[in-house]
């Protein structure tokens, strides 16, 4: 089955989310042996407080540690164990329940998607070629002016869709050492929308349709 960026974004918009406190809203959707892990945009003042917690923190869970946005790392830690348990679910015969996993999120949820992609990559090495993730209009999470060579292969199937007119995609500033990672795809270059309107779901959908990014994500 082929799923376009537009169709996946609609999944993110239409999902029914479970909230963990006031920090994270997540959703699991199953379609056959494919698991979708979705994250919602910023939905309250607490989310925005984490968005602007710019100080970097070491992310030590993986074999190669690196530094990330401290606020988003704190949010991820509230849902990490739930995600790990879900992606490791097994069938009666002891085999894993899911043979492909797709993670996606918008804005604040896009930041959490990067951590989710890392989590799947690390805990389910058997499906690394069948795991894809998309961050829609998310902020920068990775700290470092250059991405370590050893880390690049982790993000081969991670996409950051960046609306150049949207201020959210420009924070934290590069001056602070943060950068986007993976496959960075730009939309909204014609500045049709202002910095506020650019972050609306209707604007993102229109920009996605204009460049017809369909058929890139394989289930």
Residue bearing the bigger pLDDT, 63 or 115: 115
Answer positive or negative: Cα dihedral of 163, 205, 121, 51. positive
* Mean per-residue pLDDT, 187-207: 69
pTM over 0.75: yes
State how far the Cα of 176 lies from the Cα of 157, in Å rounded to an integer.
26
Tokens coding 54: 């710019």
- 2-218 architecture in CATH? 3-Layer(aba) Sandwich (3.40)
Span 13-65, pLDDT tens digits:
999 999 987 679 999 999 999 999 999 987 654 444 544 555 556 566 666 77
State how far the Cα of 34 lies from the Cα of 19, in Å rounded to an integer.
22
State how far the Cα of 164 lies from the Cα of 144, in Å rounded to an integer.
21
Instruction: Work out the number of other CB atoms within 10 angstroms of the CB of residue 199.
Output: 21
Span 127-173, pLDDT tens digits:
999 999 999 988 888 877 677 777 778 888 999 998 877 777 777 77
State how far the Cα of 115 lies from the Cα of 19, in Å rounded to an integer.
17
Residue carrying structure tokens 């050492």: 177
């Amino acid at each position: 089955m082929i799923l376009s960026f537009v169709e996946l974004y609609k999944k993110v918009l239409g999902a029914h989310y479970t909230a963990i406190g006031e920090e994270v809203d997540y959703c699991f959707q199953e379609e056959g042996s494919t698991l979708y892990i979705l994250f919602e945009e910023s939905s309250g003042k607490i989310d925005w407080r984490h968005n602007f917690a710019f100080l970097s923190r070491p992310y030590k869970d993986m074999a190669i540690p690196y530094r990330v946005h401290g606020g988003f790392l704190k949010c991820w830690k509230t849902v990490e164990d739930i995600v790990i348990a879900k992606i490791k679910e097994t069938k009666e015969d002891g085999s894993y329940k899911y043979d492909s996993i797709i993670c996606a999120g918008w804005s604040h949820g896009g930041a959490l998607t990067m951590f989710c992609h890392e989590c799947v990559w690390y805990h389910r090495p058997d499906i690394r070629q069948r795991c894809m993730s998309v961050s829609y209009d998310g902020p920068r999470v990775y700290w470092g002016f250059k991405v370590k060579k050893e880390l690049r292969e982790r993000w081969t199937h991670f996409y950051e869709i960046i609306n150049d007119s949207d201020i959210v995609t420009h924070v934290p500033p590069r001056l602070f050492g943060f950068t986007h990672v993976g496959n960075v795809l730009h939309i909204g270059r014609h500045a049709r929308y202002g910095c506020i309107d650019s972050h609306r779901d209707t604007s993102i959908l229109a920009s996605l349709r204009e460049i017809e990014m369909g058929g890139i994500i394989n289930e």
